[in-house]
Amino acid sequence: MPAVQPAFPRSTVLGYPRIGPRRELKRALESYWEGRSSRQELDRVGAGLRERTWRRLAELGLEGLPSNTFSLYDHVLDTAVLLGAVPERYRRAEDPYFAMARGTQGLAPLRMTKWFDTNYHYIVPEVGPETVFALDAAKPLAEVRQARALGFETRPVVVGPVTFLLLSERGAAALDRLDDVLDCYAELLGVLAAEGVAWVQLDEPALVADRTAGELAAVRRAYERLGAVAERPGLFVAAPYGDLGEALPVLAATPVEAIGLDLVRGGLDGLAALAGAGSADGGPAGERSAGEGPAGRGPLAGKTVVAGVVSGREVWRTEPGRAAYALRVVREHTGDVAVSTSCSLLHVPYDVAAEPDLVPELRARLAFAEQKVAEVVELAHAAPSGPAVAPEPVGAPAPVAAGERGPYEVRAAAQAERLRLPLLPTTTIGSFPQTGELRAARAALAAGTLTEAAYEDLVRAEIERAIRTQERLGLDVLVHGEPERNDMVQYFAEHLDGFAVTRNGWVQSYGSRCTRPPILHGDVSRPGPITVRWARHAQSLTDKPVKGMLTGPVTIVAWSFVRADLPLRDVVFQVADAVREEVRDLEAAGVPIIQVDEPALRELLPLRRAGQAGYLEWAVAAYRRATSGAADGTQIHTHLCYSDADQILAAIDGLDADVTTIESARSGGRILGAVGGFGRGLGPGVYDIHSPRVPGTDEIEELLRETLKALPAGRVWVNPDCGLKTRTYEQVEAALGAMVAGARRLRAEPSPA
């Protein structure tokens, strides 16, 4: 620590979008991966984006500029590299970083999963007993220096030690390496101090979930240890995405100088509890009251609270009265309060000004990253005595009613009779490659240079291509390939009332992949059929059954920016009713199988156990509300990705879908044991679609043999982990060819089970 620690800046953000306002990084990455441009070119684009961000944040008046929030792929992967946690098998790859992220022809990538309850995905680090940690601070240092050369002092942002280990493959068990990892972090602090860095931000979002006593002890140990480093920057520990709960007093009792609280998601209860509980080191309880400020004598006295009052998750303007109220409460606990966002702005688009098509009434209600920075600055300068409005609880949800389908045995018999499928039926998850031609046509249609009729001809031709390909490859249940969809949520949003879609509102999903979440701003309803004509066209081209493809209500809501004036449950039910109408119309058009995807079912799961059962209950109810209008002879499929399904198995079972396809290959088949108890059809994915790698027939055969050890053959479906839209036709034909051949080998055996 310097003799006098510089004050924490009055205004800051925990992080900023990095993909570029026009997705410049996406283009640069993909061009580099395809060998069309050099590494230097990629680095030049990255440097340009960082420069632009710092300049813009400074222009907007933000005092505390973060650095190291940029990433070429993922900040958790960056942290693994920082700590030297690169598994041996990747070290010889031409580019170990991207080999870990994306795999190579000979090497599967590291696993990827969702970042807390967001739609961002991180790369799961591998930390074993043999991992040799060794600090490689090149990236944060380079960013600090780049910013400094531009005249900006920055605060490097790094994933904190406890969260890093908890997010790694072994989860809490990896805390056995805490001391070794702390050596690296301590060294990093020294390096940053030597560089003249005043503050470092360690992100510890894992602390907003339920933590065991042992895990909380790890928090204490980590920050005692880092706090004791002689020469170091000020320590700012940020805890986005929820309430720190029991971790707050633990953290408060360590020497960290600043604590970042998510006061949007987390609310103010944690602070009040802290005041009531007295100091964390065992002081008498109930001695202090919340009104004891200004600097208070509570556990937060002497610390800076970095108050996350501007939401990094929502796109609505901050209500000044609510923010003022939160800031006033925080000031009762500490003399030093800085204004910030609740989490990194990574989850919102860049700028509302880039959305000229939105109606003015909606635009006026919106704040994207740029606007949020301006709000932070304004709140930091506002007089602390501004009008404060306590948050009001949102109204109670409406009662649900949904008809039920017949028992599974009855449905299965009716469907078997109707569909006459072979053992181990082969299918795909829905999307086929989105060709450049199709994307260009969609852009031309939007720009008005292509007619609706010409565009639709192209969509019909793509459907035909997908159907012909599947027939040639010998799949059993076909799909139309979803060529009319830019995105599985946006497409429905465009056809439902109550949603608006943006032109440039991209947010990073993983690596170079972005999504453009629609904005659900009013009551949702379906003006007319959405997918029926495409399904009908596909079915007219083949005698094989074609699956109708819909996105489920939870996923539509999870991947949209949602209104804040209704309980989430009610919003999801409104969407469920719209999906239910679409199911009814597909069925009436003779579509024999309808898949309602819910890949985001786990995503909205509350991080703390207390809220989980209630959420799952209404989420399952919404799915059943969407699908239970289907006749027994109509086969309902659902699809989920990401192996973290473990946590929500009972809910997935509760969806009562006739067939569930689920990601399995990417996570090495771990899901198999867990889903063995499901009494209905199950398609654990046989290959990972996130990687360009093509599986061989032997590999598929082997995997299916493993599957048949866990599940009865009569219930097993054969399909990839997820949709194919990010792959090329060449990769898809090779992979599906191997998949069908593998299934046929087993089918040919006398008793494959």
Question: 208 or 558: whose CB is closer to ligand MET?
Answer: 558
Residues 585 to 624: which contact ligand MET by CB under 6 A? Answer: 597, 599
Spatial distance between the Cα atoms of 179 and 240, rounded to a whole number of angstroms: 24
By beta-carbon proximity to ligand MET, the closer residue of 704 and 722 is 722
The smaller minimum CB distance to Zn ion, of residues 119 and 318, is found at: 119
Asked if residues 320 and 386 have their Cβ atoms less than 8 Å apart, the reply is: yes
Asked whether 11 and 340 are in contact (CB, 8 A), the reply is yes
| Annotated binding residue 482 | yes
| H-helix or E-strand spanning residue 67 | strand 65-67
The residue with its CB nearest to Zn ion is 722
DSSP, residue by residue, 674-711: HHTT--SEEEE-SS-SSSSPPPPHHHHHHHHHHHHHHS
CB atoms within 10 A of CB 543: 8
Smallest separation (angstroms) from Zn ion to the CB of 342: 28
For residues 604 and 619, the answer to whether their CB atoms sit within 8 Å is yes
Rule CB under 5 A: is residue 599 a binding residue for Zn ion? yes
Site string for Zn ion, 637-656 (x = CB under 5 A): ----x---------------
Task: Write the DSSP symbol of residue 11.
Answer: B
Minimum gap (Å) between residue 395 Cβ and ligand MET: 32
Which among 44-52, 266-274, 308-316, 721-729 is the span making contact with ligand MET, rule CB under 6 A?
A: 721-729
* Separation in Å, CA 593 to CA 153, 218, 516, 528: 58, 50, 29, 20
The yes or no reply on residue 549 touching ligand MET (CB under 6 A) is yes
- Binding to ligand MET by residue 655, rule CB under 6 A? no
Q: Does 426 bind ligand MET (CB under 6 A)?
A: no
Asked if 20 touches ligand MET (CB under 6 A), the answer is no
* Residue range at the interface with ligand MET (CB under 6 A); choices 49-57, 185-193, 253-261, 424-432: 424-432
Q: Do the Cβ atoms of 721 and 666 come closer than 8 Å?
A: yes
DSSP state string for 197-243: --EEEEE-GGGGS---HHHHHHHHHHHHHHHT-SS-PEEEEEETTS-
DSSP 8-state code for residue 109 = P
Nearer to ligand MET (CB atom), residue 554 or residue 566: 554
Instruction: Determine the interface stretch with Zn ion among 420-428, 510-518, 716-724, 743-751 (rule: CB under 5 A).
Output: 716-724
Q: Nearest distance from residue 726's CB to Zn ion, in Å?
A: 11
Minimum separation from the CB atom of position 244 to Zn ion (A): 33
Report in angstroms how near the CB of residue 431 gets to Zn ion at its nearest: 9
Q: Under the criterion CB under 6 A, does residue 466 sit at the interface with ligand MET?
A: no
State whether residue 269 is helix, strand or coil.
helix
The full DSSP string for 171-205 is GGGGGGGHHHHHHHHHHHHHHHHHTT--EEEEE-G
- Residue 513 known to bind ligand: yes
The Cα–Cα gap between 189 and 449 comes to 56
What's the CA gap between 156 and 148, in Å, rounded? 12
Q: How far apart are CA 19 and CA 21, in angstroms?
A: 7
489 is a site residue for Zn ion (CB under 5 A): no
Quick note: the x/- pattern for Zn ion over 719-738, rule CB under 5 A, is: ---x----------------
Query: Is residue 578 near ligand MET by the rule CB under 6 A?
Result: no
521 among known catalytic residues: no
Closest CB to ligand MET among residues 378, 733: 733
Is 26 labelled a binding residue?
yes
Q: Does 296 bind ligand MET (CB under 6 A)?
A: no
Identify any residues that bridge with 122 across adjacent strands, giving them in sequence order.
113
Strands (E) in 576-628, as ranges, are: 593-597
Q: How far apart are CA 107 and CA 104, in angstroms?
A: 5
Distances (CA, A) of 180 to 91, 139, 160, 206, 233: 21, 21, 14, 19, 20
Least distance from ligand MET to the Cβ atom of residue 541, Å? 19
Site for ligand MET in 475-504 (CB under 6 A): 488
Does residue number 517 form part of the binding site for ligand MET (CB under 6 A)?
A: no
In the list 207, 251, 429, 519, the residue contacting ligand MET (rule: CB under 6 A) is 429
Which DSSP string do the residues of 404-428 spell out, in sequence order?
A: -PPPHHHHHHHHHHHH-PPSS-B--
Distance, CA of 151 to CA of 409 (rounded, Å) = 70
Tokens of 418: 């109707």
> CB-wise, 252 or 429, nearer to ligand MET?
429
Residue 555: CB minimum distance to ligand MET, A:
8
Q: Which residue has the CB atom at the shortest distance from ligand MET? A: 723
Residue 303 contacts which entry, ligand MET, Zn ion, none (Cβ below 5-8 A, type-dependent): none
Maximal CA-CA distance, the chain: 81
Q: Is there binding between residue 722 and ligand MET (CB under 6 A)? A: yes
| Contact status: 431 vs ligand MET (CB under 6 A) | yes
* C-beta of 10 vs 547, nearer to Zn ion: 547
3-class secondary structure per residue, 473-505? HCCCCEECECCCCCCCCHHHHHCCEEEECCCCC
The reply to whether 324 sits near Zn ion by the rule CB under 5 A is no
User: Active-site residue numbers?
Assistant: 690
Residues making up the annotated binding site for L-homocysteine are 429-431, 597
Sites of contact with ligand MET (CB under 6 A): 429-431, 488, 549, 597, 599, 639, 641, 722-723, 725
Residues making up the annotated binding site for L-methionine are 429-431, 482, 597
Sites of contact with Zn ion (CB under 5 A): 599, 641, 722
Residues making up the annotated binding site are 26, 119, 429-431, 482, 513-514, 559, 597, 639, 641, 663, 722
